[in-house]
With several copies, the nearest count.
Chain A
Amino acid sequence: MIELLYFAWVRERIGLPKEHIETQASTVAELINELIAKEDRYALAFSDLSAIRVALDQDLIDDFTASLEGVREVAFFPPMTGG
């Protein structure tokens, strides 16, 4: 079991802020592909991957090849606009 969190328009497109899923994906890229294959709303949210940022257990990652081993919380969101 892994917890997925969605923020901003990723949340709006997917239609929920968080969910728990079972996954066999070993990397972030594999997880995204699983989600895209699941339903259109995921495909819509992940249609432009250059606009997607990912945090694993609350640490931003640079690269979708990052491993999910031991990860409990994956967050997907657009580029941040703080400040």
Chain B
Amino acid sequence: MQISVQKEPFDLGQIAQEFAAGHRHMGAIVTFTGVVRDSDTDDLDAMEIEHYPGMTERAIAKIATQAASRWDLGDVLVIHRFGRLTPGEQIMMVATAAPHRKDAFEAAEYLMDYLKSRAPFWKKEVTSSGTSWVDAKPEDEDALSRW
């Protein structure tokens, strides 16, 4: 299990390649990468991500452990950034390796659903007209009910 909470950018290509390498009995590798999406009017200057040091790593490890106990997985990786990010920057990624594709996909979706609303991160949008905290979406909470 590889977990990192960091301010620095990560190299998706290198991480995906290293994660996929050497999993001789894992037939399926899934990655999800979250990108700071510009607003529809292209006026997003930055996304500021606050987190709760200490609890963040703990919460992510708990979610990853739950995924590993629920699906047949060979490995799990979670990287989540904090700090000030600009549109187009990669915020976070998860990767799963499993013997079969169904486990790899489901575990990755489970990780994402739980990271969205159970890992202590908060996003604030900065635009030329001001700043505003991103509200949690009811559908993100609803997404947990399928697991």
Q: A: which residues have CB within 8 A of B?
A: 5, 7-9, 55, 58-60, 75, 77-83
Contact = CB atoms under 8 A, between A and B. Distances in A.
A19 B17 CA distance: 43
Contact of A82 (B58, B120, B124, B133): B120
B52 A83 contact: no
Among A8, A9, A83, the most chain B Cβ lie within 10 Å of the Cβ of A83
A55 B92 contact: no
Given A55-B120, A81-B116, A82-B120, 10 more contacts: A55-B52, A60-B59, A75-B52, A75-B55, A78-B136, A79-B141, A81-B117, A81-B134, A81-B135, A82-B117
- Going nearest first, the 7 A-B pairs with the smallest beta carbon separation are A79-B136, A82-B121, A8-B122, A58-B55, A83-B116, A82-B119, A83-B115
Nearest to B32: A83
Contacts, number: 70
A77 B52 contact: yes
A9 B135 CA distance: 11
Contacts of A58: 52, 54-55, 58-59
A38 B54 CA distance: 28
B126 to A, nearest CB: 14
A77 B120 contact: yes
A9 B117 contact: no
B55 A81 contact: no
A83 B34 contact: yes
B118 A60 contact: yes
Given A58-B58, A78-B133, A81-B123, A7 B52 contact: yes
